[in-house]
Amino acid sequence: MDDKERMAGLVRQAKNGDAHSFALLYEMIYADLYRAALYMLNNPEDAENIVGDTVLDAYAGITKLRDETAFRGWIFRILSNKCKRMMKEYISRRENQTTVSMDELSETVPDNRIGVQSAENKTVAEQAFSILSDEEKGIVALIIYGEYDSGEVAEQMNMNRNTVRSKYSRALSKMRDFIGSLS
Partner 1 sequence: MENRDNIIEEQIKNSNEKIPEALRPENIERKIAAMSPEELNRRAGSVDIPDQTVSSGTYGGGSGLESAGEMSGINSGMGSGKKNHKKPSVAKIVIPIILAACLLLVCGIGIGLGVGRHRIDEIQSDTEADKNDKTNVTVEKIDGENDTAESDKNKDKDKDKEKDDSEKSGLFGSKYKNYDLAYDNMLAYKKYLKNQVNYDYVTDDVVEYAEEAEEVGATYSKNEATASATGADDATPEYTDTNVRTEGVSEADIIKTDGRYIYEYDSYTEHLYFYSVDDGKITKEGSVNVLDDDQTFSEMYIYNDKLILMGNISEDAASNYSYYSYYYPSNNKTTIDIYDISDKGEPKLIDSYTQSGWYDSSRMVDGILYTFSYKNFDTEELKKKKYETYIPEVDGKLIDDEDIIVQKDTCNTTYVVVTALDVDKEEFTDKMAILGGSDTLYVSANNIYLTDRSYNWNDYTYKDETKIVRISYDDGEMEYEANGTFPGYLNDDYSIDEYDGYIRLVTSYTDGSFNRYNGLYIYDMDLSKVSVIKNLAEDETIRSARFMGKTGYFVTFRNTDPLFAVDLSDPENPKITDYLKIPGFSAYLHPYGDGKLLGIGYDTDEWGFTNCLKLSMFDISDPYDIKEEDTKVLYDYQDGSVLGDRNAFMFNDKDGTFGFSAYAYGYSYIEEDWFKETYEDQYDDIIENADLNKEGGYYIVFDYDERKGFTKLMDEELGEDGLYADIYSTRGIVIGDYLYIVNSGMGISSYDTDNYKLVDECY
> What residues from 85 to 104 belong to the interface with partner 1 (CB under 8 A)?
85, 88
Our CB check for partner 1 shows the closer of 116 and 142 to be 142
Q: Is 33:75 a contact under the CB 8 Å cutoff?
A: yes
Report the alpha-carbon distance of residue 157 to residue 164 in Å, rounded. Answer: 9
By the rule CB under 8 A, 115 interacts with partner 1: no
Could you give the dihedral angle defined by the CA atoms of residues 88, 142, 9 and 61, in that order, rounded to the nearest 10 degrees?
10
Piece of the chain touching partner 1 by CB under 8 A; list 93-101, 108-116, 152-160: 152-160
Among positions 7, 10, 40, 58, the unique one binding partner 1 when judged by CB under 8 A: 58
Element containing residue 156 per DSSP (H, E) = helix 150-157
Report the alpha-carbon distance of residue 96 to residue 167 in Å, rounded. Answer: 29
Among positions 9, 78, 112, 130, the unique one binding partner 1 when judged by CB under 8 A: 78
Among positions 40, 42, 54, 136, the unique one binding partner 1 when judged by CB under 8 A: 54
Among positions 3, 27, 104, 107, the unique one binding partner 1 when judged by CB under 8 A: 27
By the rule CB under 8 A, 6 interacts with partner 1: no
Report the alpha-carbon distance of residue 26 to residue 23 in Å, rounded. Answer: 5
* DSSP code string of 26-61: HHHHHHHHHHHHHHHH--HHHHHHHHHHHHHHHHHT
Name the minimum Å distance from CB 53 to partner 1: 8
Site size with partner 1, rule: CB under 8 A: 79
Q: CA nearest 41: which of 116, 144, 105?
A: 116
Our CB check for partner 1 shows the closer of 96 and 160 to be 160
Our CB check for partner 1 shows the closer of 105 and 159 to be 159
